[in-house]
Amino acid sequence: MDQPVPTTPIRKLLKWVMALLSIGVFVALCALGNWQVQRLHWKENLLAQIEERMSAAPISINAMADLSQSGENIDYRSVVLTGTYDHSKEVFYYNTNDGVVGWNVFTPLKTDEGKIVMVNRGFIPDRFKQAKTRMQGQLTGTQTIEGLGRIPQDGKPNSFMPENDIAANIFFWKDHAAMAAKIGLSLDEVYPFFVDAGKSSIPGGYPQGGTTRISFPNSHLQYAITWYGLAVALVLVSGVYFWTNRRRKLQSDA
């Protein structure tokens, strides 16, 4: 049996519903595109600020501490410090470098100012985790390090990341307080940030400094083009739909 033809009032109602839905979806798509453009500008500004902080002349560790205390962003800020490493208290952060599985070695350094800073000395392949396999790189005496200040993470980045195994000295995320506690220090005894050591000539080659990753996915332009493209496609499809229905009506009235 043939389906009954909708009455004229129902057809008109359907057209209005379709029109309102199309307008609503069009507005939403444009809003999403605008949001991605805003995110694009924010990301570009962030990258520019990081580049500026990295290329600036290194400041002292105390100057960085003052900036941090005042609320200024010291992430990726160039810093220079002098002190002595305590290699007996290394902390290991699981990482990869150029596809090689290994660790970043965090070592407490007692600065000339008498306070401790956790220095990320750099990457070592897993086979060099034992200190006896890289004794040449266990620098003794007073050392001067140039590097980048790094803000500790507030918490585990996501639910998929494993918990830190503090007892086994294995860290999957950079828990500043836990790292300090692991080596018997309170937060009052350490600077409230890490320092990533820059690239330098280390006897034996490890730890390999200068491996700080500056990776910020920036696909906002592609996303914006996608949303705007969908909005344009919606306009075209809706225009064809309503034009076709209008022509049919004119033909039926003729």
In this predicted structure, what is the pLDDT of residue 131? 92
Cα–Cα dist 124/104, whole Å = 6
What is the bridge-based pairing of β-strands 59-60 and 78-85? parallel
Q: For strand 190-197 and strand 142-150, is the pairing parallel, antiparallel, or unpaired?
A: antiparallel
Please list the ranges in the chain whose pLDDT falls under 50. Answer: 1, 5
- Whose tokens are 């401790």? That residue is 116
Distance (Å, rounded) from C-alpha 208 to C-alpha 75? 20
Phi first, then psi: what are they for 158, rounded to 5°?
-155, 165
Which tokens go with 14?
Answer: 């359907």
CA–CA dist 152, 12 (Å, integer): 60
pLDDT at 254: 56
Per-residue pLDDT, 31: 94
Q: Which strand (E) or helix (H) includes residue 181?
A: helix 176-182
Task: State pTM to two decimals.
Answer: 0.76
Amino acid at 234: L
What is the spatial distance between Cα 115 and Cα 66, in angstroms, rounded to a whole number?
14
**Cα–Cα nearest to 118, from 91, 136, 145:** 91
- Joined tokens for residue 179: 């790292």
pLDDT tens for 167-201 read 999 999 999 999 999 999 988 899 999 999 998 88
pLDDT given at position 243: 79
CB-based burial label for 174 (10 Å; 0-12, 13-18, 19+): buried
Whole-Å CA distances, 203 to 44, 82, 137, 207, 248: 38, 19, 5, 9, 83
